[in-house]
Amino acid sequence: MAEFMFLGRQKKIYVVRRNTEERNCRSLYRFNSQNINWLANHFLPENHERRGGALSNECKMKIFLRYLADPGFQIGVGEDLGVHQTTVSITFSYVLQQVNRKAPLWIRFPRNINELETAKVNWQSRYKFPCAVGALDCTHIPIMKPSSHGDEYVNRKGFPSINVQATCDNSEMFTSVDASWPGSVHDARIWRNSDVYRILRENQCNALILGDEGYGIAPWLMTPFQNPETPDERAYNRLHSKERVITERCFGQVKRRFPILQNKIRLAQTKLPSVIVACFVLHNVAKHVGDEDFEAPSDDNNLPVLGEEEAANVRVRGTNRRREIVNVIRQL
């Protein structure tokens, strides 16, 4: 007679989550531990879940931040935090939704005369360009090539991307972000179709923004002279370049804080804009709570920084040597 053994209901086994606090918190989550708790309290609704193994809001935020810090592999994030890949996926989507719900509170371009006048005053408190309220630029965020209309996402550099337009203010905080355009779309087209373009075009207080030579000059958008001929034009270009570079600096800061923006984002195409916007929101939050920026990697830390006069002298010497080489080539 066959023998049977009754197997009762298996008790659920919870994975022991690893204590990573002794490791570098900023390296793992891109924020210090105090600010991670602040983020969880600010963005996530109060958590009433009391079941065994339930994730706290702080743990949910850590999963979200760890995914942004890692080049986008959910299994690796799960291994780091002792949760299943499915939990990482569900938690990431939930926190992403909550962060984007509050995006308008953190990323907002001045809209009326009073706000634009305040932005002008704020810019003048740190910079010198007259009537400016910020600077404008675009950056490419690499993505996996979409299966649908994939060629539209291949940019001029030959890789698929989202062409992200952003503006920032005097405090290095983003005031607008548009992450809805494929990489093949020109910066000027994105600008002409943006809300910021409409706001500045219709503004009555002469507010303007700084952009590079790829944009068409307008009363509300100042670009550099392509071929400056007078000392005044060259002085204008120097000031314009010095102040417009704030956007490139902010792009560098947000990409260093969230390495997912430097690698191919491995998510559904519909989620890409939300992930990008969330990173820009968290950049502004980091500025607000005083979380230190991540340093730019450099192999030239020991090289002296050239002053403007010395740099001009180097350019003159380089030009002279180029003329000498031209003469040598002529005699060959």
In this structure, is residue 329 part of a structural domain? no
The residue among 82, 101, 120 that closes a domain is 101
Buried b vs exposed e over 84-119: b needs ≥16 C-beta within 10 Å? eeebbbebbeebbebbbeebeebbebbeeeebbbeb
Q: Are 44 and 57 in contact (CB under 8 A)?
A: yes
Q: Indicate if the alpha-carbon torsion angle 47, 52, 56, 61 is positive or negative.
A: negative
Same domain, 65 and 119: no
- Which residue has tokens 């992930």? 275
Helical H runs in the chain? 25-29, 33-43, 57-69, 74-81, 85-101, 103-106, 113-124, 187-192, 195-201, 231-244, 246-257, 272-289, 308-330
Same domain, 88 and 120: no
Same domain, 33 and 167: no
53 is written with which tokens?
């193994």
In this structure, is residue 19 part of a structural domain? no
What percentage of the chain's residues is helix, strand, coil (to nearest 5)? Answer: 50, 10, 40
Same domain, 37 and 152: no
Number of domains in the chain: 2
Cα angle 222, 181, 145; round to 5: 135
Q: How far apart are CA 113 and CA 106, in angstroms?
A: 20
Same domain, 245 and 146: yes
Q: Indicate if the alpha-carbon torsion angle 30, 36, 41, 45 is positive or negative.
A: positive
313 is written with which tokens?
């002298």
Same domain, 149 and 200: yes
Q: Which of 139, 145, 107 is CA-nearest to residue 278?
A: 107
Q: How far apart are CA 61 and CA 44, in angstroms?
A: 8
Same domain, 241 and 278: yes
pLDDT of 313 reads 67
Same domain, 152 and 90: no
In this structure, is residue 39 part of a structural domain? yes
14 is written with which tokens?
């919870």
Same domain, 113 and 43: no
Residue 131 DSSP SS3: coil
Same domain, 91 and 119: no
Cα dihedral: 119, 164, 196, 224 (round 10): 70
Residue 270 DSSP SS3: helix
Phi and psi for 161 in degrees, rounded to 5? -160, 170
Same domain, 215 and 114: yes
Same domain, 76 and 133: no
Residue 243 sits in which domain range?
106-289
pTM exceeds 0.85 = no
pLDDT of 303 reads 44
pLDDT of 4 reads 45
Q: How confident is the prediction along the chain (332 residues), in pLDDT tens digits per residue?
A: 445 444 555 544 444 455 545 458 898 999 999 999 999 999 999 876 666 568 999 999 999 999 999 876 788 888 878 888 899 999 999 999 999 999 999 999 999 999 999 999 999 999 999 999 999 999 999 999 998 888 999 999 999 999 999 999 999 999 999 999 999 999 999 999 999 999 999 999 999 999 999 998 999 999 999 888 998 999 999 999 999 999 999 999 999 999 999 988 888 899 999 999 999 999 999 999 999 999 876 544 444 444 556 666 666 667 666 656 666 655 65
